[in-house]
Amino acid sequence: MGSAVSCKSKKGSCKPQNKTANIATSAQQGQSEELEEHMTAVLASSPVGCEALRCAICDLEADSAAASELQLSSRMIEDAGVVKLAKGLAKSTHLQVLNLSINHITDVGAQALAGVLAATKLRVLMLERNQLSAVGIVALARALPTTLEKLVLGRNSVGVEGASALASSAVQLHTLSLGFAQLHAEGGRALASILSKLIVLDVAGNHLGGAGCAFLSDRLEESTLDTLKLESNGIGDAGAKALCTALERCKTLQVLEIRRNSVTDEGAKLLAHALERNQTLRHLDLFDNSITDVGAGALLVAVRKTKQAGSMLSVLNLQINDVSPSTTARITEALQKRVCSSA
């Protein structure tokens, strides 16, 4: 990490400044000290971050079309920088994409953003890998603009409280990404009601377990989801069973990722049974589970049956399982077969 760098933008200028304003007179010392403190606030912990942030603020304050997409990830931006950026957001009519992932932003920065978010026209907001807790997430959830389509908050401490606030938001989203956000089973329960507001939900790495998976599965039938990502949640065969029940009734889901979830042949057989009754799923990802030729054989039978019935399934990923190359090859061949129309 680079040393802390103080930077402040001049209005209409994007050039770096290395010095703060001089103290005017001893009689104005109190006022000058306050000004100096403001000027020396650490906006970003690297010169590159300072320059990128300064230019972004200039474009926002000028309401420039150049600020329609701000990619500011990995710039070591601090809360003070986000506070200044937030003031510029309120002046921009062009900004649609704001990426502040992988910075040093805490709840202070999130609350500053929340203060102006509702008035923006943002379509994409990315804050992945920061230092947000439920406090900041709740503030953001209450201020999401109606134009927002994609919200990325993974690898922050969203928790149950943050998940509940997001589920209570009135905003309809295309994509909500909450990977590795400390949700656990109760977080899955909290998110269940938001499935009717989303197209894509990513909750990978949240220790949902079979119970958390069941909470989500129970609402799949009435959801608008076409993609559900459940990688690394330890859902096991219990979670696979809950998903199977949902798959038999769900009419929208097209992509289901169950990577790295300790699903065994028992779960694979249940999924095979569900596939025979589902016509919408296109992509089933079972990468790195505990499936052998026994479970894969059941899936092969299901694929052949569903293809004859007009299934759209085209991808069944069984890599990093104990499945033989010959069985894998037969599944691939079955997936590639097209349904022949009757004369």
User: In this structure, is residue 61 part of a structural domain?
Assistant: no
User: In this structure, is residue 47 part of a structural domain?
Assistant: no
pLDDT at residue 338 in the model: 67
- Better pLDDT: 229 or 33: 229
Q: Which domain holds residue 154?
A: 97-336
Strand 69-71 to 97-99 pairing: parallel
Strand 255-257 to 124-126 pairing: unpaired
Categorize the per-residue pLDDT at 170 as very low, low, confident or very high, splitting at 50, 70 and 90.
Answer: confident
pLDDT at residue 113 in the model: 98
How far is the C-alpha of 16 from the C-alpha of 302, rounded, in Å? 63
> pLDDT digit string (tens) for 255-276?
999 999 999 999 999 999 999 9
Selection from 242, 299, 303, 228 nearest residue 265 by Cα: 299
CB 221 within 8 A of CB 195: no
pLDDT at residue 255 in the model: 98
Say which CATH number the domain at 170 has.
Answer: 3.80.10.10
User: In this structure, is residue 14 part of a structural domain?
Assistant: no
- pTM metric for this prediction: 0.89
Strand partners, 290: 264
Amino acid found at 2: G
User: In this structure, is residue 50 part of a structural domain?
Assistant: no
Please give the full DSSP string across 108-169, using - where no structure is assigned.
HHHHHHHHHHTTS--SEEE--SS---HHHHHHHHTT--TT--EEE-TTS--HHHHHHHHHH-
> DSSP 3-state assignment of 177?
strand
Categorize the per-residue pLDDT at 41 as very low, low, confident or very high, splitting at 50, 70 and 90.
Answer: confident
Report whether pLDDT(175) > 90: yes
Share of the chain above pLDDT 70, in %: 87
Q: Six-digit token pair at 287? A: 């990468």
- Cα dihedral sign, 225-231-237-239: negative
User: In this structure, is residue 164 part of a structural domain?
Assistant: yes
CB 3 within 8 A of CB 45: yes
pLDDT at residue 20 in the model: 37
Helices of type H across the chain: 29-39, 47-61, 79-89, 107-117, 134-141, 159-168, 184-191, 209-217, 236-247, 265-275, 293-308, 325-336
Number of domains in the chain: 1
User: In this structure, is residue 35 part of a structural domain?
Assistant: no
Selection from 259, 318, 261, 313 nearest residue 292 by Cα: 318
Selection from 4, 10, 90, 1 nearest residue 41 by Cα: 4
Report whether pLDDT(6) > 80: no
Mean model confidence pLDDT for the chain? 89
User: In this structure, is residue 29 part of a structural domain?
Assistant: no
User: In this structure, is residue 15 part of a structural domain?
Assistant: no
> pLDDT digit string (tens) for 71-116?
999 999 999 999 999 999 989 999 999 999 999 999 999 999 999 9
* Beta strands, E only, 196-236: 200-202, 227-229
In eight-state DSSP terms, residue 23 is P
Place of tokens 């077969």: 337
Place of tokens 């899936």: 299
How far is the C-alpha of 39 from the C-alpha of 135, rounded, in Å? 28
Strand 124-126 to 97-99 pairing: parallel
Categorize the per-residue pLDDT at 40 as very low, low, confident or very high, splitting at 50, 70 and 90.
Answer: low
Please give the full DSSP string across 254-269, using - where no structure is assigned.
-EEE--SS--BHHHHH
Which whole number is the average pLDDT over 204-225? 97
Question: Is 264 buried (19+), middle (13-18) or exposed (0-12) by CB count in 10 A?
Answer: middle
Which whole number is the average pLDDT over 134-142? 98
